[in-house]
């Protein structure tokens, strides 16, 4: 008899949340959606709650609760509707469900994710900020509570797959015995500007990135993909998730987006994860692990793949990637500053106040500012949040108006 697992999705109305629900719907005999949360798109949240007959939803405030009620048919059996951050924390620590999907981005979800980790659940993690700015704190809690973390971003999920198909894998620590791995190789498409010269980047505007992505993955994330700082964040994630030395993490540009990451073993062999580019595969793998679940992606026809190209990233062109390595080498505080300064700089670029090429310069200036401060150990979430706020304030007040 199949054991039905109960799932709560934090951030169900975003793209990751929506895809998670699609995968669950295909495998409905294995999963029950216990609850959902969202800070926006309340009418969509109501539709999801109806479709999956959830027991509880969490919304940000009373106004959102009223909107939720108005969107539910009168005859429908209403779920329990909870409000605010305290409710999210209570849900995160609840023993009423088995799997937490952290599908929201941003710093605001940190406390919720940490609380979920304390409960020893399986956590499917799509939030980059969590490990970038609170990696040590989070992984210490994970280790103490024997929590199962499975990343669902494409690259780190691919590494997880390559590692866990090995019979010598330590399933608790996500690592192989010493000297098994020579290198973990993250791949990236290279974004819209991989063929541009450094000089041409001076003229990049938000419109250029919009034309490439059509904002399908969100404006800020689209810019992060273009600067490749998203890959820098994944480097930091990889360091914390898989306990490998920094020098054993590498990045290659793979324009076809078919090879999602690779592991180079100490004997010279390489194991790679290939598939059509779709977030459904990482989600279905993480939900079903160690079993393989169905999804709607379909199979990769290698006979139609004309070529697989691999290029080293130009670190003069993609300075943010280099800054991520620098932050990881310099310590946790620099990773907090990296994330905060980048968000401020990207917002400045999108609003037309900052040139694209000044995004890494804002980060560099923020590193210099932080290097003159008395470094903290960042042993608590409060200390991390305080530094995040300070770094944002500094980056926002550099007085750079270059557009």
CA distance 53 to 79: 8
160 lies in some domain: no
The two structure tokens encoding residue 62: 């009373």
Q: Is residue 314 predicted with pLDDT exceeding 80?
A: yes
Q: Helix/strand/coil (H, E, C) string of 352-368?
A: CCCCHHHHHHHHHHHHH
At residue 151, the 3 state secondary structure works out as strand
The pLDDT, as a whole number, for residue 74 is 74
Kindly report the CA angle at 235 between 261 and 254, in degrees rounded to 5? Answer: 35
Confirm if 354 and 400 have CB atoms less than 8 A apart. yes
The pLDDT, as a whole number, for residue 401 is 52
Which pLDDT band holds residue 400 (cuts at 50, 70, 90)? Answer: low
Integer angstrom CA distances of residue 302 from 256, 272, 305, 308: 12, 14, 5, 10
Provide the mean pLDDT of the chain: 91
pLDDT in tens, 136-180: 999 999 999 999 999 999 999 999 998 886 655 666 666 666 678
Q: Do residues 137 and 262 both lie within one domain? A: no
Q: Do residues 142 and 188 both lie within one domain? A: no
Q: Do residues 220 and 289 both lie within one domain? A: yes
* Mean pLDDT, range 21-40, rounded to an integer: 96
Confirm if 192 and 223 have CB atoms less than 8 A apart. no
Q: Do residues 140 and 20 both lie within one domain? A: yes
Q: Do residues 144 and 198 both lie within one domain? A: no
Q: Is residue 70 predicted with pLDDT exceeding 80?
A: yes
161 lies in some domain: no
Nearest CA-CA partner of 337 in 284, 299, 389: 389
Contacts 24+ apart (CB under 8 A), 221-225: 221/105, 223/346, 223/349, 223/350, 223/359, 224/342, 224/346, 225/189, 225/191
| Domain-terminating residue out of 151, 169, 199 | 151
The phi-psi region of residue 146 (left if phi > 0; otherwise alpha if psi is between -120 and 50; otherwise beta) is left
CA distance 155 to 128: 12
Find tokens 């669950």 and name the residue: 24
Q: Do residues 144 and 185 both lie within one domain? A: no
248 lies in some domain: yes
Q: Is residue 212 predicted with pLDDT exceeding 90?
A: no
**CATH number of the structural domain spanning residue 124:** 3.40.50.720
Residue 175 gets which letter from DSSP? B
Determine the angle formed by the axes of helices 280-288 and 15-26, rounding to 10 degrees.
60
* Higher per-residue confidence, 179 vs 67: 67
Q: Do residues 228 and 368 both lie within one domain? A: yes
The count of structural domains within the chain is: 2
Determine the angle formed by the axes of helices 219-227 and 359-371, rounding to 10 degrees.
80
At residue 38, the 3 state secondary structure works out as coil
Q: Do residues 226 and 347 both lie within one domain? A: yes
Percentages (nearest 5) of helix, strand, coil residues in the chain:
50, 15, 35
403 lies in some domain: no
CA distance 104 to 123: 13
Q: Do residues 123 and 220 both lie within one domain? A: no
Residue 271 gets which letter from DSSP? E
77 lies in some domain: yes
88 lies in some domain: yes
Find tokens 């990207």 and name the residue: 346
Q: Is residue 403 predicted with pLDDT exceeding 50?
A: no
284 lies in some domain: yes
174 lies in some domain: no
Q: Is residue 216 predicted with pLDDT exceeding 60?
A: no
Global pTM exceeds 0.85: yes
Nearest CA-CA partner of 367 in 316, 314, 328: 328
Q: Do residues 97 and 227 both lie within one domain? A: no
* Mean pLDDT, range 350-365, rounded to an integer: 95
The pLDDT, as a whole number, for residue 402 is 45
Helix H or strand E segment including 253: strand 249-253
The residues near 281 (Cβ < 8 Å, ≥ 6 apart) are: 154, 157, 275, 295, 297
Determine the angle formed by the axes of helices 229-242 and 154-164, rounding to 10 degrees.
30
Q: Is residue 215 predicted with pLDDT exceeding 60?
A: no
Q: Is residue 214 predicted with pLDDT exceeding 60?
A: no
Q: Is residue 217 predicted with pLDDT exceeding 70?
A: no
| Domain-terminating residue out of 131, 151, 171 | 151
**Radius of gyration (Cα) for the chain, nearest Å?**
21
**CATH number of the structural domain spanning residue 307:** 1.10.1740.10
Q: How far apart are the first and last CA of the chain?
A: 62
Q: Do residues 9 and 94 both lie within one domain? A: yes
Q: What are the DSSP calls for 114-166, one per residue?
A: HHHHHTT-EEEE--HHHHHHHHHHHHHHHHHHT-EEEE-SHHHHHHHHHHHTS
The two structure tokens encoding residue 238: 């990889």
Confirm if 187 and 260 have CB atoms less than 8 A apart. yes
Find tokens 């993690």 and name the residue: 125
| Dihedral, 172, 175, 176, 177 alpha carbons, nearest 10 | -80
* Mean pLDDT, range 183-210, rounded to an integer: 89
Kindly report the CA angle at 152 between 297 and 243, in degrees rounded to 5? Answer: 140
Q: Do residues 305 and 197 both lie within one domain? A: yes
pLDDT in tens, 221-258: 889 999 999 999 999 999 999 989 999 999 999 999 99
Q: Which residue range is the domain that position 294 belongs to?
A: 181-396
């Amino acid at each position: 008899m199949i054991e039905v697992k109960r799932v709560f999705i934090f951030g169900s109305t975003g793209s990751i949340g929506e895809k998670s629900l699609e995968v669950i719907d295909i495998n409905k005999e294995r999963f029950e959606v216990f609850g959902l949360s969202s800070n926006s798109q309340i009418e969509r949240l109501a539709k999801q709650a109806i479709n999956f007959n959830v027991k509880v939803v969490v919304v940000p405030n009373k106004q959102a609760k009223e909107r939720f009620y108005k969107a539910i048919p009168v005859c429908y059996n209403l779920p329990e509707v909870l409000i605010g951050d305290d409710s999210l924390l209570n849900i995160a620590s609840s023993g009423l469900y088995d799997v937490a999907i952290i599908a929201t981005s941003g710093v605001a979800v940190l406390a919720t994710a940490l609380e979920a980790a304390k409960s020893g659940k399986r956590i499917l993690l799509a939030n980059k900020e969590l490990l970038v700015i609170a990696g040590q704190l989070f992984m210490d809690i994970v280790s103490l509570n024997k929590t199962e973390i499975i990343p669902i971003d494409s690259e780190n999920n691919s590494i997880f797959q390559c590692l866990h198909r090995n019979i010598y894998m330590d399933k608790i620590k996500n690592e192989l015995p010493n000297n098994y791995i020579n290198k973990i190789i993250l791949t990236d498409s290279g974004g819209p500007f991989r063929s541009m010269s450094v000089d041409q980047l001076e003229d990049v505007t938000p419109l250029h990135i919009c034309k490439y992505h059509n904002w399908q993955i969100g404006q800020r994330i689209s810019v992060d993909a273009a600067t490749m700082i998203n890959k820098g964040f994944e480097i930091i994630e990889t360091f914390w998730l898989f306990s490998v030395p920094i020098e054993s993490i590498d990045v290659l540009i793979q324009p076809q987006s078919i090879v999602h990451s690779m592991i180079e073993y100490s004997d010279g062999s390489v194991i790679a994860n290939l598939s059509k580019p779709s977030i459904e595969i990482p989600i279905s793998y993480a939900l079903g692990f160690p079993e393989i679940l169905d999804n709607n992606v379909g199979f990769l026809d290698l006979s139609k793949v004309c070529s697989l190209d691999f290029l080293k990233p130009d670190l003069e062109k993609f300075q943010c990637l280099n800054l991520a390595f620098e932050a990881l080498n310099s310590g946790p505080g620099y990773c907090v500053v990296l994330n905060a300064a980048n968000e401020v700089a990207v917002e400045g670029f999108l609003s037309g106040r900052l040139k694209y090429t000044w995004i890494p310069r804002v980060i560099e200036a923020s590193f210099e500012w932080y290097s003159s401060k008395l470094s903290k150990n960042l042993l608590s979430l409060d200390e991390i949040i305080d530094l995040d706020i300070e770094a944002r304030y500094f980056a926002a007040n550099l007085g750079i108006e270059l557009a």
